[in-house]
A and B are shown apart, each in its own frame.
Chain A
C-alpha cells in the first residue's frame, strides 16, 4: 500500500460524496433513534456502535487511512480503540459510586 501523490488523486470525488451521504444517513438514524423509548443501556450501545462506524468511515476515507501503509494503520488504530475502551473501563466504577452515594 505505497502512497504517492498520484495514488491520492486516483481516489475520485465519488468516494467522498458517497461517504458524506452515508455519514448523513447514519446521523439521521441516530437522531431518530434518540426518540425511541429504549432502555438506556441498549440506546448507549446502539448510539456508540453507529458513532464508531461513522468514525471508521471518516478515518478510512476522509483521512485516507485506507490508502496508507498497513504499518501506520496498525500503529494508530489500537490507540483509537483504547480511547473508546476507556469509557467501558470507567463505567462500572461510576455505577459503584452511585450505589455508595448518601441518599
Chain B
C-alpha cells in the first residue's frame, strides 16, 4: 500500500495525491486567475466589438498628459511586480523584515498607479466624458473605457489591501511563505492584465500629432 501511494505521489496523470505539486491554496489562486482572466477577456472582447462596430470611434488620447501618464502607470505596475517577486524571494529565504519592506514597496507602486489613474479619469471627466455620453458622440466609448479600467483599478485597490494584510501578518510571524507567494501571484496577474489594457485601450487610441 505504501509503495502504491509513493508511486502515485510521483505520477503526474494517474490521479495521484498532488498531481500539480502545489498546495491547494496556490492551486485555488491559479484557478481564480484563470477565471478572472476570462472576465477581463470578456470585457476586452466587448470593448473591441463595439469599437469595430462603431463608425467613428474616438481616438482622443494626447501624448501629454494621457499617454505619458499611462506609460508611467505601466512603469509603476511593472516595478511593483519586480519588488513583489523580490518579496517572495526574501520570504523563501526566511528574511521576514526584507519581505515586509518589499511588500510595502509593492503597495507603494500600486498606490501610485491608482493616484495617477484617478488623475487621468478626472481629466477625462473634466473633458465631458461620462458613462453614457461624451463630446465625440460615441456613448459606448465612456461605457467601455470606464468599465474596463474601473474593474482593473478595483483589482489594484483590493490587491493593495490584500498585500497590506499579508505584510501585517508576516511582520507578526503569522503567515507562511506560501501565503506570500500566493499574494504575489495575484499581484503579478493584475500587472499582466494591464499589459493588455494599456495597448488595446490607450495605444490604439492615440491622437496622431
**Interface, chain A (partner B; CB < 8 A):** 1-3, 5, 8-9, 11, 13, 16-17, 19-20, 23-24, 27, 30-31, 33-35, 37, 40, 43-44, 47-48, 50-51, 54-55, 58-59, 61-64, 68-72, 75-76, 79-80, 82-84, 86-87, 90-91, 93-95, 97-98, 101, 103
Q: What does DSSP make chain B's interface, helix, strand, loop or mixed?
A: helix
Flag if A94 contacts B52 (CB, 8 Å). yes
Interface residues of B in 96-126 (CB under 8 A from A): none
Q: Known contacts being A63-B188, A76-B34, A80-B34, is A30 close to B52, with CB within 8 Å?
A: no
Flag if A2 contacts B53 (CB, 8 Å). no
Q: Known contacts being A27-B74, A31-B67, is A50 close to B52, with CB within 8 Å?
A: no
Flag if A69 contacts B41 (CB, 8 Å). no
Flag if B199 contacts A51 (CB, 8 Å). yes
A68 to B30, CA, bound (A): 12
Q: Does B37 have its Cβ within 8 Å of any Cβ on chain A?
A: yes
| Size of the chain B interface, CB-CB below 8 angstroms | 59
Among B181, B192, B200, point to the contact of A47 (Cβ < 8 A): B200
A86 to B107, CA, bound (A): 32
B32 to chain A, nearest CB (A): 12
Contacts of A20 in B (CB 8 A): 78-79, 81-82
A80 to B16, CA, bound (A): 25
Q: Known contacts being A16-B86, A34-B204, A80-B37, is A58 close to B44, with CB within 8 Å?
A: no
Q: Known contacts being A9-B92, A16-B89, A94-B48, is A3 close to B21, with CB within 8 Å?
A: yes
Q: Does B38 have its Cβ within 8 Å of any Cβ on chain A?
A: yes
A57 to B42, CA, bound (A): 23
User: Which residue on chain B has the smallest CB distance to residue A9?
Assistant: B92
Flag if A87 contacts B53 (CB, 8 Å). no
Contacts of B20 in A (CB 8 A): 68-69, 71-72, 75
Among B38, B49, B67, point to the contact of A90 (Cβ < 8 A): B49
A36 to B204, CA, bound (A): 11
Flag if B21 contacts A58 (CB, 8 Å). no
A71 to B185, CA, bound (A): 18
Q: Known contacts being A23-B78, A71-B19, A86-B45, is A5 close to B204, with CB within 8 Å?
A: no
Contacts of B189 in A (CB 8 A): 63
User: Which residue on chain A has the smallest CB distance to residue B177?
Assistant: A5
Among A9, A51, A75, point to the contact of B196 (Cβ < 8 A): A51
A93 to B52, CA, bound (A): 9
User: Which residue on chain B has the smallest CB distance to residue A5?
Assistant: B92
Flag if B37 contacts A79 (CB, 8 Å). yes
User: Which residue on chain B has the smallest CB distance to residue A70?
Assistant: B12
Q: Does B138 have its Cβ within 8 Å of any Cβ on chain A?
A: no
Indicate the member of B63, B67, B79, B191 with the most A CB atoms within 10 Å. Answer: B191
Among A11, A87, A94, point to the contact of B44 (Cβ < 8 A): A87
